[in-house]
Amino acid sequence: MNIIKSAFGEHAKLFTMINDNGVQLAVTDFGARIVHLNVPINNERRELILGFDSAEEYIAKDHYIGATIGRVAGRIANGSFQLNQTNYQVVKNENDNTLHGGPDSFEMAYWQSETDISDNKVSTSFTHTSPNQNNGFPGNLTVKVTYTLDNDNVWQVSYEANSDAMTLFNPTNHVYFNLTGHPAKSVADHMLSIDADHFAPLDDQNLTTGEQRDVSQTAFDFRKAKKVNEALISVDPQNQLVGGLDHPFLLNQATDSDIPQARLVSPDQKVAINMRTTAPSVVVFTANFGDDYQLPMRQEYLINHGGITLETQVAPGAEKYPAFGNIVLPANEVYQATTRFDIDI
């Protein structure tokens, strides 16, 4: 087990965690972000996630890729909500709405870092305090994100937070998988399963409506593994609206912890990711950037549908639709959440 520290552009640092099987998980203090998940497969190495080579490139090209997202992941309609009988207006950064905590949020901060190496696991923790009224959110909020990699090829993301005033808190991580190793190849032929009987439909501003729709007989039914492509070519107006998937799947109660809540398998079946989370939903976004999209990545271009996210969180809109789950963090209470990904190689 080892952690190699290096520079990641002008101001940021990179921490490459390596386990005894040669799995590498690299994270940076810029945005408490995941940069590499690199695994050995048949004497070759394969990169399983999208990323760039420096903090500056993320700033210039796409600052959400791999980042910790908050204070509130997803969209807050009109940037307004009520908390404790008080109306709050937060800064809007996508038309009339607030996306991913508003402008320059967690993904743009340089976090405090700390590393730990023990016999069977390595971890890197990042801590950041978002000051009271940051983008309009109440409370001085301190967040700690810990990435752990162990010798069973389990990679875990855990969150701990507390605030000195009641606030909203609903973080996630925005890593995009492409298990072919090539962002220039669509994720269409990945097999995906999600243990969710319901998903949350969106309106024309990508806002949830509060509806929890049955997945039966829709392209959203991933209860049995099927190709991601079925959602990309679906004529369901919900798929057409966003050009694929950009929807919260409301996870069924975990009845058997041996069964992952989501599983993604590479087209050649040489690698799979099994996801388990304490969060009640997962937002699946199939990088619907449009047919002509070409973003220069590490060695090649990222294309439309060149990645897929598994953003574990309470479904966006929970400030308005409490049936999605609770995102109110009372003053001086500890918030905790964990998502683990088992890498099958």
Helix (H, G, I), strand (E, B) or coil at 265: strand
Q: Does residue 312 belong to the site contacting ligand G6D (CB under 6 A)?
A: no
Question: 200 — alpha (psi -120 to 50), left (phi > 0) or beta?
Answer: beta
Residue 82 belongs to what H/E stretch?
A: strand 80-83
Site string for ligand G6D, 10-49 (x = CB under 6 A): ----------------------------------------
Task: Please say which residue, 311 or 319, places its beta carbon nearer to ligand G6D.
Answer: 311
Residue 79 phi, psi (nearest 5): 60, 30
Q: What is the nearest approach in angstroms of ligand G6D to the Cβ of residue 125?
A: 24
Q: What is the nearest approach in angstroms of ligand G6D to the Cβ of residue 168?
A: 17
* CA angle (67, 69, 75) in 5-degree steps: 135
Q: Does residue 193 belong to the site contacting ligand G6D (CB under 6 A)?
A: no
Task: Please say which residue, 149 or 308, places its beta carbon nearer to ligand G6D.
Answer: 308
Q: Does residue 285 belong to the site contacting ligand G6D (CB under 6 A)?
A: yes
- DSSP letter at 233 equals S
Q: Nearest-CB residue to ligand G6D? A: 285
Q: What is the nearest approach in angstroms of ligand G6D to the Cβ of residue 232?
A: 15
Task: Please say which residue, 181 or 244, places its beta carbon nearer to ligand G6D.
Answer: 244
Query: How many residues bind to ligand G6D according to rule CB under 6 A?
Result: 7
Q: Does residue 314 belong to the site contacting ligand G6D (CB under 6 A)?
A: no
Nearest to 305 by CA among 234, 228, 236, 249: 228
Contact 75, 207 (CB under 8 A): yes
- DSSP letter at 131 equals P
Site string for ligand G6D, 49-78 (x = CB under 6 A): ---------------x--------------
Residue 153 belongs to what H/E stretch?
A: none
Helix (H, G, I), strand (E, B) or coil at 238: helix
Tokens standing for residue 280 = 């009640």
Task: Please say which residue, 94 or 197, places its beta carbon nearer to ligand G6D.
Answer: 94
Nearest to 163 by CA among 183, 202, 186, 134: 134
Contact 226, 342 (CB under 8 A): no
Task: Please say which residue, 168 or 283, places its beta carbon nearer to ligand G6D.
Answer: 283
Pick the binder of ligand G6D from 186, 281, 309, 312 (CB under 6 A): 309
Task: Please say which residue, 167 or 309, places its beta carbon nearer to ligand G6D.
Answer: 309
Task: Please say which residue, 88 or 285, places its beta carbon nearer to ligand G6D.
Answer: 285
Q: What is the nearest approach in angstroms of ligand G6D to the Cβ of residue 153?
A: 26
- DSSP letters along 3-47, please? EEEEEETTTEEEEEEE-TT--EEEEETBTTEEEEEEEEETTEEEE
Tokens standing for residue 155 = 């990679």
Q: What is the nearest approach in angstroms of ligand G6D to the Cβ of residue 184?
A: 20
Q: Does residue 106 belong to the site contacting ligand G6D (CB under 6 A)?
A: no
Nearest to 264 by CA among 174, 315, 194, 312: 194
- DSSP letter at 139 equals S
Pick the binder of ligand G6D from 38, 246, 304, 313 (CB under 6 A): 246
Pick the binder of ligand G6D from 283, 310, 327, 337 (CB under 6 A): 283
Tell me which residues touch ligand G6D (CB under 6 A).
64, 206, 246, 283, 285, 309, 311
